[in-house]
Amino acid sequence: MNLEQLQSFVEVARIGHFTRAAAHLHLAQPSLSRQISTLEADLGATLFHRARGNITLTTAGESLLPLAKRMLTDAENVRYEMQELAGLRKGRVRLGATPTLCISLVAEVLTLFHAAYPGIDLHLTERGSHGLLEDLAGGALDLALITTPEGGSGPSASLRRLPLLTEQLVVVSSVTSPLLGDLQSVTLAQLAELPQITFHESYDLRALTMQEFQKANLVPKVVLEGAEMDAVLRCVERGLGVAVVPAMVLVDRPGLRSARLTAPRLARSISLAHRNDVALTRAAQAMQDLIIDTANILSSVDGGADGLITRTA
């Protein structure tokens, strides 16, 4: 049994067709069939039910599939770790982050990391915090930047969480819009009376703000619902309405003005998480160090945006 045979087995199981799997693997169909037959002979078990146009796994095949996937993943991880011995000239980092962090902290980190280590392959996954933690626990990510409501619980005991920043939520409008007037702060009740642009329901930020409206028995005046971060900010810049966003997105956004959200004050915690039972590769450790350094800079520049972004102790 070898890795090439296992890869062929996994592809046939995934596609359900020998000829199409062979094309995907850039193999001749007879070669693929021989690999599967040899693997079955070595294991002493039939792995596929072969019916014309209908290839399905046998019981033995169903048992082998998760093991084969795990072995292929382990082999890939070994290859990347060996490449790292070349002094971070090669390797891979799989980073996950929430959408709001992808346009602020992560964009800065990836720019600096690529400049320092151009040979490292970077893979970025953009999801909500819950999905990122699932990916992390399942081995699909090396590191994940997650957000939780201030004082909220962190990931499970199987994951290590490193607190980075506490970030207040602010109300933003276009600098040319009269919606906020001269207000330096906005209460939740005042916000409910303003035309508001809300995020897609997959955003943790939307769930947090809507929960606060419900607790206060308020109904926001929504003019656009279900937008992604970039669309929300562009619509705000064009004067369509206001939005509740993390303070960090104000960096390099001269078309926006902000007011603090008060009564209640809303904030979120930003943390970096990774698995407890898996040691970080050298490349992932370098990425973690850079994220920590960048977080420190963000919290110190201009007083952390007038105290809106602070370092978590």
pLDDT digits (tens, 9 = 90+) for 240-274: 999 999 988 887 788 999 999 988 888 889 999 99
- Find out if CATH 1.10.443.10 is the number for domain 3-84: no
Q: What angle do CA 197, 202, 208 make, to 5 degrees?
A: 65
In this structure, what token pair is assigned to residue 138?
């399942």
CA pseudo-torsion sign 220, 146, 125, 172: positive
Show the tokens assigned to 226. 């279900």
What span, in angstroms and rounded, lies between the C-alpha atoms of 199 and 311? 26
CB 287 within 8 A of CB 95: yes
Residues 251, 105: Cα–Cα separation, whole Å: 10
Q: Which residues pair with 220 in a beta bridge?
A: none
Does pLDDT of 276 surpass 70? yes
Each residue's pLDDT tens digit, 7-24: 999 999 999 988 889 998
Q: What is the pLDDT of residue 45?
A: 93
Which of 139, 24, 8, 19 has the alpha carbon at shortest distance from 64? 8
Confidence tier at 83 by pLDDT (50, 70, 90): low
- Upstream peptide bond of 264 is cis (omega within 30 degrees of 0): yes
Mean predicted lDDT score pLDDT of the chain: 87
Provide the percentage of residues in the chain whose pLDDT is more than 90.
Answer: 49
pLDDT attached to residue 302: 45
Residue 280 region, left (φ>0) first, then alpha (ψ -120 to 50), else beta? Answer: beta
Percent of the chain with pLDDT over 70: 92
For the 167-268 domain, the top CATH level (class) is alpha beta
* 103 φ/ψ angles, rounded to the nearest 5 degrees: -95, 5
pLDDT for residue 194: 96
pLDDT at 303 over 50: no
Q: Which positions ≥6 away from 28 have C-beta within 8 Å? A: 22
The structure tokens 């790292």 sit at: 84
Tokens representing 103 are: 């346009």
Is 167-268 in the same CATH topology as 91-161+276-290? yes
Each residue of 88-131: pLDDT tens digit? Answer: 777 889 999 998 898 888 988 999 999 988 888 999 999 888 89
Which tokens sit at 302? 């201009």
For the chain, domain boundaries: 3-84, 91-161+276-290, 167-268
Fold for the domain defined by 91-161+276-290: D-Maltodextrin-Binding Protein; domain 2 (3.40.190)
pLDDT in tens, 204-214: 888 889 999 99
Residues 6+ apart with CB under 8 A from 305: 247, 248, 250, 251
